[in-house]
Structure 1
Amino acid sequence: MSAYEDHVASRERWATGPRGPLALVNAQRVDHAQPVWPVPGQWAPAPGGLSVTASAADGVVVDGVPVDGTVLVAGDEAVVASTVTFPDGFAGSVSAGTLRVWDPSSESIARFAGIARFDRSADWVTSGRYTPVTGLEAQGVVLDAAGAPLEVAGHIETAFGSTSVRLVAVRSAAFRGAARLQLIVQDTTSALPEEDPGSTYSMGRFLYLDDPGTDPSAGADVELDWNLLVLPPCAFSYQFACPIPPEDNHVPVPITAGERHPVDTAGHVFH
């Protein structure tokens, strides 16, 4: 299997995995004591995460121990986040005061057919020049899906034919032990599918690349394989919010490469 074929297969596995975007059936902010659909228990804010109150008959299990009373569910920001399971295969996780509920047998997984993508082309493997930034330049011009600022790593200058762009790159979580940069981009294919049958997801796509890790006074040449453009989680589920591409990353040309839309068994775009 080629590296590209492995990439495609891993993306399909991610989409339908037990913690993939199609398995997320609810993401509910808990700011007072309340139930959370579709799982048992009474949930409430607590230092370091959420608390859950349940009886043994409810079948809530936190960190391997059945709940019979009230216990803390540590959030993702804790040193060790809690694991939560419910009856019928449901699982939960807590992040920033929100309970996410995952169903590995969700209706969305059952009707998912695949990720529509453009054919791979060597013409969409281009070069760019990365220049890192420091200090105030690294703050606040890119927001994540929750509206929090992302750390800007630097800028990447590249060209699409005669069109030159200077893209904002943010730091991403490490992947397989390697530091990465992330580009959040929109281009002229970013449109609603009913308005443009050749469209890609309207809110934009992501491109990841290895972080060159260069000195701020220098820079580095980077390879940009636009065939590896991927859809954000929000393309698969309304339970996710979408990050907003910075103005510099609105590319004024069509990038006919990478992933386009998730599609169902009837050939329809998910949303």
Structure 2
Amino acid sequence: MTDTSAARSAEHAEQRDAWARSPRGPLALVNAQHVDTPQPVWPVPGTWAPAVGGLTVTAEAGDGVLVDGVPVDGTVLVAGDTAVVPSTVAFPDGFAGTVNGDTLRVWDPASDAIARFARIARFDHADGWVRTGRYVPLVGDDLEARGGVLDAAGDALPVAGHVETTVGDATVRLLAVRSAAFRGAPRLQLIVQDATSALPEDDPDSSYSMGRFLYLDDPGAEASVELDWNLLVLPPCAFSYQYACPIPPEDNRLTVAVTAGERHPVDTDGAVLH
């Protein structure tokens, strides 16, 4: 697991740094505004209002709002992320918009946060943090268990099962939720906190206080799984206050220190960015 795991970690780190500063990465998100009545949304033009299937925008041609490539002159529906084909929205000065439920997200590919961002600080790769575990899926419709994890909006996440493994000298049973497919393959997600989360952020062994994510291949049945803790990642809320953080379930709040994976986003001076 030495060369393969280290190479995988290096490639993963490069991809994550590029994602963080990308035009739709977390550093580009400058506003995420809930729209429940007709209202303006900073810092883009138009009046936004709730609508079935997304939001509407009312603007004049001179405002420079484009929905699906067409200039808006009047009122237009902006289809949300649950539509078969979600709308694309472009504004002057390079700003862009996406609709998620009843929220308009505004993206600035030249945001101050992107300009300040240097890299994601990480613990050094260590082969000892590549472990095996046993995935045990839930059987039946255990509603209590399936409601045991909430997303950032307070909605229950679909609990898939548990992963039994060792962390340090401790045997743990971690709750796993279903994640969106990655490159067409199903995945599991562990939302975890550990002892590094409680340390001051200037401590070299600290990590983001709200916790981190670990993604695993979903075997679809009870099976042995690999947990490469070197691939622990920060949640989007570690990069921008425009995101809310999910709360790690009690089973996933570890008392041991996981000195692996991502720690904090840092700026060009080496200080924690957010």
**If the length of structure 1 is used for normalisation, what is the TM-score?**
0.96
**How many pairs are equivalent?**
267
Tell me the SS of whatever aligns to 1:241: coil
Aligned-pair Cα RMSD in Å: 1.3
Of 172, 196, 215, which residue of structure 2 is paired with 1:189? 196
| Equivalent residue number for residue 125 of structure 1 | 130
Q: Is the 8 A contact 1:187 1:255 kept in 2?
A: yes
Counterpart contact for 2:201–2:208, Cα < 8 Å: no
**Match in the other structure for 2:8:** 3
Contact conserved, 2:201 with 2:207, CA < 8 A, in 1?
Answer: no
CA–CA separation in structure 1 for the residues paired with 2:113 and 2:35: 24
Q: Does 1:176 align with 2:179?
A: no
Aligned-partner SS, 1:222: strand
Q: Which position in structure 2 is the counterpart of 1:113?
A: 118
The correspondence for 2:84, drawn from 73, 79, 82, is 79
What code does the residue aligned with 1:92 have? G
Structure 2: gaps spanning 5 or more residues: 1-5
Work out the CA distance in 1 between the residues paired with 2:127 and 2:11: 17
Q: CA deviation at 1:195?
A: 7.0
What SS does the aligned partner of 2:196 have?
coil
Q: Which of the residues 90, 93, 103 maps onto 2:95?
A: 90
Cα distance change, pair 194–213 in 1 and its aligned pair in 2 (3 A): closer
- The CA distance in 2 between the partners of 1:157 and 1:103, in whole Å, is 42
Does residue 257 of the first structure (1) align with residue 260 of the second (2)? yes
Amino acid at match of 1:146: A
Alignment of 1:21-170 (within 5 A): 21-134=26-139, 135-136=141-142, 139-170=146-177
Deviation of 1:4 after TM superposition, in Å, equals 2.2
Residue 237 of structure 1 corresponds to: 240
Distance 2:234 2:104 in 1: 23
Distance 1:197 1:124 in 2: 18
Code of the aligned partner of 1:170 = V
- Matched residue SS, 2:225: strand
Task: Give the residue type in structure 2 aligned to 1:153.
Answer: A
Of all paired residues, the percent bearing the same amino acid is 72
Structure 1 runs not aligned, ≥5 long:
none
Contact 1:41 1:58 (8 Å CA) reproduced: yes
| Deviation of 1:270 (Å) | 1.5
- How much does 1:21 deviate? 0.1
Are the counterparts in 2 of residues 54 and 67 from structure 1 also a CA contact under 8 Å? yes
Task: State the shift of 1:128 in Å.
Answer: 0.5
Whole-Å Cα distance in 1 between the matches of residues 155 and 83 of structure 2? 18
CA distance in 1, matches of 2:205, 2:136: 33
Partner of 2:3: none
Separation in structure 1 between the aligned mates of residue 9 and residue 86 of structure 2, nearest angstrom:
33
Name the residue aligned to 1:268: 271
For the pair 1:16 / 2:21, whether they are aligned, the reply is: yes
For the residues of structure 1 that align with 2:206 and 2:244, how far apart are their CA atoms?
A: 20
Q: Which residue of 1 aligns with 2:227?
A: 224
SS of residue paired to 1:189: helix
User: Displacement, 1:197?
Assistant: 4.3
User: Aligned partners of 2:201 and 2:26: how far apart in 1?
Assistant: 23
User: 1 CA distance for matches of 2:177 and 2:53?
Assistant: 27
TM-superposed deviation, 1:161 = 3.3
Look up the equivalent residue of 1:6 and give its one-letter code: E
